[in-house]
């Protein structure tokens, strides 16, 4: 990781293909945990004004629509989501790549619904383009644990920092007593195991 932390002022968040059909193909993490983590990331981005870019692939097919909760959390971003027509690597879609460039940020938080397809390729491309990338591995998963482990190793070996939802949210908070920290705490607490 670079000496300069990822903050709300220097970072953009990319949420890739959190679609109801595709999420059903993930077996390496429980569905509800993956969903809660992805929604907590979206809530965090909106709470502390991090540019948020959403994309989906072939919503009218088996992949299905993006999570309806994303429309509630980030209505403007949901409406502006990049609807890819089968392009596997989101960064190969010119509309998505342009939306990422338009954020003006060189540090990217990336979470895709399937780490072994939706996350790995845009992460590798972003790294090649000179972005610094943190992959939030528990806001997605893969059909098998082996597929997930391999994709995470591949991204890490290429230079991405692998993180978890709560770890990333704590980094963005910096200080729980700060204004930003106070805005993020409820989303962190929402992910804590219930007694």
Catalytic residue check, 118: yes
pLDDT of residue 4: 81
Q: How many Cβ atoms sit within 10 Å of the Cβ of residue 94? A: 10
CA distance 91 to 136: 17
Report whether 124 contacts 155 (CB < 8 A). Answer: yes
- Whether pTM exceeds 0.85: yes
pLDDT of amino acid 1: 42
Active-site pick, 100, 110, 113, 118: 118
Q: What is the pLDDT of residue 115?
A: 96
Q: pLDDT in tens for each of the 195 residues of the chain?
A: 446 889 999 999 999 999 888 888 999 999 999 999 999 999 999 999 999 999 999 888 888 888 999 999 999 999 999 999 989 999 999 999 999 999 999 999 999 999 999 999 999 999 999 999 999 999 999 999 999 999 999 999 999 999 999 999 999 999 999 999 999 999 999 998 876
- The predicted structure's pLDDT at residue 2: 46
pLDDT value of position 69: 96
Measuring CA to CA, which residue among 117, 111, 116 is closest to residue 164? 111
d(CA 118, CA 94): 16
What SS3 state is found at 15?
strand
Q: For position 132, what pLDDT does the model report? A: 97
């Amino acid at each position: 990781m670079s000496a300069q932390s990822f903050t709300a002022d220097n970072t953009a968040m990319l949420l890739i293909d959190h679609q109801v059909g595709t999420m059903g193909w993930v077996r390496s993490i429980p569905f509800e945990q993956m969903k809660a983590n992805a929604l907590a990331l979206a809530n965090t981005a909106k709470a502390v004004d991090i540019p948020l870019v959403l994309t989906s692939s072939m919503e009218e097919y088996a992949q299905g629509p993006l999570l309806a909760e994303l429309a509630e959390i980030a209505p403007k971003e949901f409406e502006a989501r990049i609807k890819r027509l089968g392009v596997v690597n989101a960064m190969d879609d010119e509309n998505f790549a342009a939306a990422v460039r338009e954020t003006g940020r060189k540090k990217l938080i990336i979470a895709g619904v399937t780490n072994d397809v939706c996350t790995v390729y845009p992460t590798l491309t972003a790294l090649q383009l000179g972005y610094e990338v943190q992959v939030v591995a528990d806001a997605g998963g893969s059909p098998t644990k082996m597929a997930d482990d391999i994709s995470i190793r591949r991204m890490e070996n290429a230079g991405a920092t692998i993180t978890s939802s709560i770890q990333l949210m704590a980094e963005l908070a910096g200080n729980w007593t700060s204004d930003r920290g106070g805005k993020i705490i409820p989303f962190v607490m929402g992910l804590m195991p219930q007694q």
